[in-house]
Amino acid sequence: MKKKLALFLAVCIAAVSLTACAGGTQPVDDPQASSSQTETSEAQSEGSASGESQNDAQSGGGSASSENASSDGASDSGSKSESSNGSSSSDPASKSSTPSQSSSQSSTHQSGNSSQASTSQQSGGSASQSSTASSQSSSVSQSSKPQQSSSTQTQQTSKVTEQSTQTQQSSTSSQSSQSTSASDSEYDIGGIALYNELFNINSKVTVEISVSDAEFKKLQADYNKYHGDDKKSDIYRKANVTFFVNSKKYTLEEVGIRLKGNQSLDPITASNGKPNLCSYKLSFDETFDDKTDYGSDAKNWNDNDRKARKKRKFASMNGLDIKWNISYDNTNIREVYATKLFESADVLVQKIGLSQLKFNGNNHGLVKIYEPIDTTFLRKRLPESAIGGDLYKAMWSNRTSSKGTTGWRGATYKSDNSYGVQDNKTGLKFNFNLKTNKKTSTHAQLKKFLAVINKGDPTRAEIESVLDVDYYARFMAASYFAGDPDDIRNNYNNHYLYFRKDNGKAIFIVYDNDRTLGITYGLNKNCATRNPYSSYAASAGEQENPLIKKTISHNPTANLSYIRDKYTAALNSLSKTAMLTSDADFNKMYNTAKSNYESIITPYTRFDNQDETFRFDLSGNQNGGDRQNMSFEQFRSQIMNTFKTAKP
């Protein structure tokens, strides 16, 4: 009996040992995960006491993207991820720090059956990934500022696939108090760690886009069909996209691609047959199955594969924007530097980075890559209680009321400004184009906001019921020092307006600052000599925006003059930062970019719409008209002198 018992125990021990060996690829607990999760929960609890969580899927299916119909907010928040170093970083603001345990998704899915990406180690060793997310956003107090995400990233160990050179990298993508399920998180390729690395100025990035002849012809045909009368195509065509980020390679199949731009929109091929420089929008979760857009070419999916595609993210994003250097900024970094300036003021701004662009094997030179402004963007920066509000892109429109067309006008915030859902194919656009809650919104918060600011002299209680006043003061102060003649103040353009779900208050989001910090090419308006309390718009004459006139101009209304005091305090605070007191930080960023990209800055050919050569150069000419740019040194010196002598 004893022998039989001993034999039985031996068999059991052997079975346990085999089971342990088989489970050796399972993620192991990170010793830092517990403390990191506690930090994250505390950071989120500061801003999530009130309000309710809502995304487009929960409120009727409205799109949550900036010109990106494929962005679905929290419901599509994961993606497959593979890393050559076998480790991953979870989202710093996610309450959940448990990596996915699932092994059902292969890293070698083909033909678009699921979200797919392959990652391979390049020569030079493993690229370092940022251990903090502090560059992503700044900490903001609940009382007056949007809640920002925690700066600590939780390191996780990922499951290794059967391929010895690949692993599945898990990263939770929802930066909120609401946990993302493990099954969703595995679809976020690279997660927040790759997001930080991608937009790090020290990183060397290349984006390679491969489009078949058939899809290329469709892109050109889309332009020809819809261009004119302020129309453009919003149909995504198929491309394979490979990202090289330092020493790592990520390849995504069936990425959506379309042309991007308004006044700058050009076809891929000019009428003379020569190629054009173009800007693009990429969508990582596009399904290509809309019968109206794709007809007989619409893709057929099974339910599981379609859900997987809708969950695919790259570096915690649903898509990516790519823009060529249309303002011929020879420093190539002004917009990136301006982003850091806004971040230093605790203002919401999209991440911007540099990259080489290769299109079908040809070098298109140096471009800027942009984080889209959508619900995913908001979740990285606000508490979950603030998510679900109406997001608008503010711009020029020929509709000056929601029912009529009476001439072109910017987003002046006057009571006759228009609002609605943009239709690119018909050319229908508004001063305020709704990007979230498209099927459910009544525009109630926007209507209330416009009604209050257009009153003769709103009370303090009235203005603070619709506007985050402290945030507004910082936003306007940073905008002044950025000196963009095409922004909210100087041309009623290029920004987003968001109404928080938890308190209904408006906050502004920076967008498209490609004419900042002394760029005068194509729009020769030197904002460095403009008084910070001016009642004029640099590109539009007498200031029309009632909020600006009543709060930060030379003659604010009696009830709102206190906001000008806050604005002055924000100006004083920013003016003392190293970014504005010296050229050193700018020059350091410039030298880093030059070292990484000078060898590839000249494209493979002279494009038909290319007016100047591309180069790295710090010099400038403030008297060069609209064919040259000021130097950053000239701009910084002038705007600081203007500010020091300015009086309210």
| 178-228: pLDDT as tens digits | 334 445 678 999 999 999 999 999 999 999 999 999 999 999 999 999 987
User: What are the backbone angles phi and psi of residue 573, rounded to the nearest 5°?
Assistant: -65, -45
Question: What would the mean pLDDT of 456-483 be, rounded to a whole number?
Answer: 98
Residue 266 lies in a domain: yes
pTM for this one? 0.76
- Domain end among 534, 556, 579: 579
**How many beta carbons lie within 10 A of that of residue 275, not counting itself?**
21
Question: Based on the domain organization, do 221 and 94 belong to the same domain?
Answer: yes
C-alpha–C-alpha distance, residues 350 and 342, integer Å: 10
Report the chain's mean pLDDT, rounded to a whole number.
78
Question: What would the mean pLDDT of 500-509 be, rounded to a whole number?
Answer: 98
- Which percentage of the chain shows pLDDT scores above 90? 63
Local confidence band at 563 (pLDDT 50, 70, 90 cut-offs): very high
pLDDT value at position 184? 67
Question: Based on the domain organization, do 364 and 395 belong to the same domain?
Answer: no
| 606-645: pLDDT as tens digits | 999 999 999 999 999 888 788 889 999 999 999 999 999 9
pLDDT value at position 231? 86
| 387-435: pLDDT as tens digits | 999 999 999 988 766 555 567 889 999 999 999 999 988 888 899 999 9
- Domain end among 564, 579, 594: 579
Question: Based on the domain organization, do 232 and 86 belong to the same domain?
Answer: yes
Residue 95, pLDDT above cutoff 50? no
What's the sign of the alpha-carbon dihedral 91, 96, 97, 100? negative
335-to-16, 134, 338, 349 alpha-carbon distances in Å: 58, 19, 5, 11
> In terms of DSSP bridges, do strands 506-510 and 117-121 run parallel, antiparallel, or are they unpaired?
unpaired
Identify the H or E element spanning 645: helix 632-645
Tell which residue, 311, 314, 287, 434, has the closest CA to residue 371: 314
**How many beta carbons lie within 10 A of that of residue 166, not counting itself?**
21
Residue 88 lies in a domain: yes
Question: Based on the domain organization, do 170 and 285 belong to the same domain?
Answer: yes
Local confidence band at 566 (pLDDT 50, 70, 90 cut-offs): very high
Question: Based on the domain organization, do 403 and 295 belong to the same domain?
Answer: no
Question: Based on the domain organization, do 214 and 283 belong to the same domain?
Answer: yes
pLDDT value at position 259? 96
pLDDT value at position 494? 94
C-alpha–C-alpha distance, residues 480 and 506, integer Å: 19
C-alpha–C-alpha distance, residues 341 and 257, integer Å: 31
Question: Based on the domain organization, do 553 and 509 belong to the same domain?
Answer: yes
pLDDT value at position 44? 36
Residue 220 lies in a domain: yes
Strands (DSSP E) along 310-415, which ranges? 313-314, 319-324, 352-359, 362-370, 391-394
SS3 331: coil
User: What are the backbone angles phi and psi of residue 495, rounded to the nearest 5°?
Assistant: -160, 165
Residue 510, pLDDT above cutoff 50? yes
| 44-77: pLDDT as tens digits | 333 333 333 333 333 333 333 333 333 333 333 3
Better-scored residue on pLDDT, 114 or 205: 205
In order, the DSSP letters of 69-108 are TT--GGGG---B-B-TTSEEEE-TT-S--PPP----S-TT
Residue 132 lies in a domain: yes
Residue 460 lies in a domain: yes
Question: Based on the domain organization, do 348 and 416 belong to the same domain?
Answer: no
Question: Based on the domain organization, do 166 and 301 belong to the same domain?
Answer: yes
| 533 and 474 Cβ atoms separated by less than 8 Å | no
- Domain end among 579, 600, 620: 579
Local confidence band at 491 (pLDDT 50, 70, 90 cut-offs): very high
Better-scored residue on pLDDT, 321 or 131: 321
Spatial neighbors of 12 by CB under 8 A, at least 6 apart, are: none
Instruction: Name the domain count of the chain.
Output: 2
Residue 87 lies in a domain: yes
In this structure, what token pair is assigned to residue 400? 């000056």
Question: Based on the domain organization, do 355 and 392 belong to the same domain?
Answer: no
Whose tokens are 């403030």? That residue is: 622
Any idea what the Cα angle at residue 628 is, between residues 625 and 632, rounded to 5°? 110
Residue 10, pLDDT above cutoff 60? no
In this structure, what token pair is assigned to residue 42? 């505390």
Strands (DSSP E) along 371-455, which ranges? 391-394, 419-420, 432-434
Q: Which domain holds residue 406?
A: 388-579
Residue 111, pLDDT above cutoff 90? no
Question: Based on the domain organization, do 360 and 397 belong to the same domain?
Answer: no
pLDDT value at position 127? 35
> What is the length of the chain?
648
| 175 and 94 Cβ atoms separated by less than 8 Å | yes
Question: What would the mean pLDDT of 21-48 be, rounded to a whole number?
Answer: 34
Spatial neighbors of 442 by CB under 8 A, at least 6 apart, are: none
Residue 645 lies in a domain: no
pLDDT value at position 56? 36
Residue 183 lies in a domain: yes
**How many beta carbons lie within 10 A of that of residue 32, not counting itself?**
14
C-alpha–C-alpha distance, residues 366 and 78, integer Å: 30
Question: Based on the domain organization, do 463 and 326 belong to the same domain?
Answer: no
